[in-house]
Amino acid sequence: MLTLVAFVVSIAVLVTVHEWGHYAIARGCGVKVLRFSVGFGPRIAGWTSSKLGTEYVVGLFPIGGYVKMLDEQAAPVAESERYMAFSNMPLRSRASIVIAGPLANLLLAVVLYSVVNWIGVEQHQAVLARPHHHSILAESGFVGGERILRAALDGDAMEDVVSFEGFRWWLAKGAIEHRNVQVEFTDPRGGTHSTLLMLAGIDARHADAQLFQKIGAVGPFSRARLGALMPDGAAEQAHLLTGDVVLRVDETDIVDAAQLREVIRSSWRAGTPQRQTWEVTRSGEHMSIAVAPKLVHEGGESIGRVGAIIGGPPAVVMVQYGFLDGISEAFRHAWETSFLTLRVMGQIVMGEASLRNLSGPIAIADYAGKSAAMGFTQFLAFLALMSVSLGVLNLLPLPVLDGGHLMYYLWEALSGKPVAQLWTERLQKVGIVILMMMMSVAIFNDVTRLLR
């Protein structure tokens, strides 16, 4: 239920703001607005302004909206109202009305990001878990436990990194833009170092968890501490206790919980049990304990289990900004998100990025529900991201989108005459086909993710 409510609220807010942008500028330019609709399909609520003559409608299907204006290209207009028709407005007015929708979404994103920055949000500390073998971080010498201090695209000025999520943002930027990332960090012993992560040549066609798997930044650092123990599990039988911190397993130094889980899983890979010697610390006391992981069959392979929760919640930091810094950071984040979104879309068109990067309504609903469950600020941040995506998407030069209409106006400005009605109709049909294909791929991706 939370997922459905969060999804409906998200779509309603984003669509209302987008259409309000068109509506407000249209009214400001003197265009008569016939209908302002949030949602499509049968009308479920609404009213008509006696002063303006505008009908305000809520449709049954909350998947979009529209602003219907007086327009001679859509229907005959009375002579007394021709001066209020959209089609009779100057080119600059028509262009302003069209671009106002996407700009309203981008402005909403800045406002939402600003509110999130002012309230503050808890994020994971920028301390790295042990990277997987053959990942870029592992090949760069990272072993886990390093605290990231600053980062930048190679050649740019270094900037402070305040959270693990902030560090992954730099990694995503580097991979998508095919640029290396300079990183300054402290090792677990306190020494400060700087290194260059070679991301320029990484295959970033899939901007998802696989990308961070290749880089090695799968998750933040979590200490190898035992949580709750299952009755009769290998951990309980070995007389381990909740709160024990594992320092070493046989000849392997344990850096974090992720590494300990992998060592336990691999104990049965040879098909025979491997009794392990664990060095743990308990209440400041070191001790060695023999542990025999039990065999479990999972996904067609034999793995070890000890019957205990491994690792606790990663340490967090409150990321918060003052009034002016919050606004500045919001503008910067909205701009960078817009640029990366356009970059990925361009790479998809050029075949340099996978179509699997497209997400549809099922994924959006899932993210909406998860962000709402995490708290108010997380939901606002999700709304801001979706608002940026909607604004950028509508600026694409597809005939059925705002960007397509802007292309018509560009042609009109350069040639001195509007695009012929016949060509407009043809291009509209092509745009609808392309948009439907994109939606089909996005929904297919959503269903595929659900079935994994």
The encoded tokens of residue 393 equal: 């998407």
- The reported pLDDT for the residue numbered 272 is 64
- The reported pLDDT for the residue numbered 273 is 64
Q: Which amino acid is at 364?
A: I
Report CA Rg, the chain. 28
pLDDT in tens, 280-339: 999 889 999 999 888 887 767 778 888 999 988 888 999 999 999 999 999 999 999 998
- The reported pLDDT for the residue numbered 352 is 67
CATH for the stretch 226-310:
2.30.42.10
Separation in Å, CA 299 to CA 88, 269, 292, 293: 65, 13, 21, 18
Instruction: Please give the Cα distance from 181 to 377 (Å, whole number).
Output: 29
Catalytic residue among 19, 79, 236, 298: 19
298 is catalytic: no
Whether 60 and 142 have beta carbons less than 8 Å apart is answered as: no
pLDDT in tens, 249-262: 988 889 899 889 88
Q: What is the average pLDDT across 212-238?
A: 90
Residue 36 pLDDT grade (very low, low, confident, very high; cuts 50, 70, 90):
very high
Q: Is the pLDDT of residue 149 over 90?
A: yes
- The reported pLDDT for the residue numbered 321 is 94
- The reported pLDDT for the residue numbered 207 is 58
Tell which CATH architecture fits domain 122-219+315-319: Roll (2.30)
- The reported pLDDT for the residue numbered 295 is 83
Indicate the average pLDDT of the chain. Answer: 88
Whether 238 and 290 have beta carbons less than 8 Å apart is answered as: yes
Q: Kindly state the percentage of the chain with pLDDT values over 70.
A: 96
Residue 133 pLDDT grade (very low, low, confident, very high; cuts 50, 70, 90):
confident
3-state secondary structure of 382: helix
Which regions of the chain carry the CATH code 2.30.42.10? Answer: 122-219+315-319, 226-310
Residue 204 pLDDT grade (very low, low, confident, very high; cuts 50, 70, 90):
low
Rounded (10°) CA dihedral 417, 392, 430, 204: 130
Phi, psi (rounded to 5 degrees) for 131: -75, 155
- The reported pLDDT for the residue numbered 391 is 93
Instruction: Please give the Cα distance from 292 to 307 (Å, whole number).
Output: 11
Q: What is the average pLDDT across 56-71?
A: 87
Q: Is the pLDDT of residue 390 over 80?
A: yes
Residue 190 pLDDT grade (very low, low, confident, very high; cuts 50, 70, 90):
confident
Instruction: Please give the DSSP secondary-structure letter assigned to residue 154.
Output: T
Q: Is the pLDDT of residue 269 over 70?
A: no
Q: In 172-192, which positions are buried (b, 16+ CB within 10 angstroms) versus exposed (e)?
A: bbbbbeebbbbbbbeeeeeee
Beta bridge partners of 229: 308
Instruction: Please give the Cα distance from 356 to 398 (Å, whole number).
Output: 20
Three-point CA angle 135, 190, 241, nearest 5° = 75
The encoded tokens of residue 210 equal: 């696989």
Residue 86 pLDDT grade (very low, low, confident, very high; cuts 50, 70, 90):
very high
- The reported pLDDT for the residue numbered 271 is 61
Q: What is the average pLDDT across 116-132?
A: 92
Whether 114 and 327 have beta carbons less than 8 Å apart is answered as: yes
Minimal CA–CA distance to 97: which of 18, 13, 16? Answer: 18
